Amino acid sequence: MSDGTITVLETGKPLTYGFDELTLFHGFGFPGGVAHGFRVMQRAFPLLSRNEPPERRDISVRTAFRGPGARDAFEMVTRSTCEDRYTVDDALAEPERGETLMRYVFHVSYRGETVKLHIREGIVRDDFIALGRKPDRTAEEDERLADLKRDMAERLLALPAGEIYDTY
């Protein structure tokens, strides 16, 4: 797996995805979420399947993160959403880490092993979370939020996955 791709197996045959393919599947609404899903998989898969890429249909994900971009990234690579192996679980949230970080928690499982990841401090901006949760945003605020989403994706893609997510 290079820094720019994710490889999984489909009945032993490799499938390789880059961020651009995941974006085409998702669309352009939540590029930061797509980047989170991409980097989570890049971080977790080598820890779960050390000698070869994992079989995509044996991967499951539990997360407190509600973002549709990440969900779609996991779906394209693992087919976990349509096969009921993707769960948003509020109980995984880590409120002790604060409003900004508490939902960036991912438990990725493969053949009986689970890797638990949460985002490092300093990756997600407080203003991004606050604006994203604000009801009744103005058109100007929506534009600002779109800029912050693109910024999130760019910052995530500029870092190796191991510098974004810690295991615990």
CATH 3.30.1330.130 assigned to 5-167:
yes
> Do 49 and 110 form a contact (C-beta atoms < 8 A)?
yes
24 token code pair: 């085409």
Six-digit token string for 158: 């500029």
Per-residue pLDDT of the chain (168 residues; tens, 9 = 90+): 346 999 999 999 999 999 999 999 999 999 999 999 999 999 999 999 999 999 999 999 999 999 999 999 999 999 999 999 999 999 999 999 999 999 999 999 999 999 999 999 999 999 999 999 999 999 999 999 999 999 999 999 999 999 999 999
Comparing C-alpha atoms, which of 56, 126, 113, 120 is closest to residue 86? 56
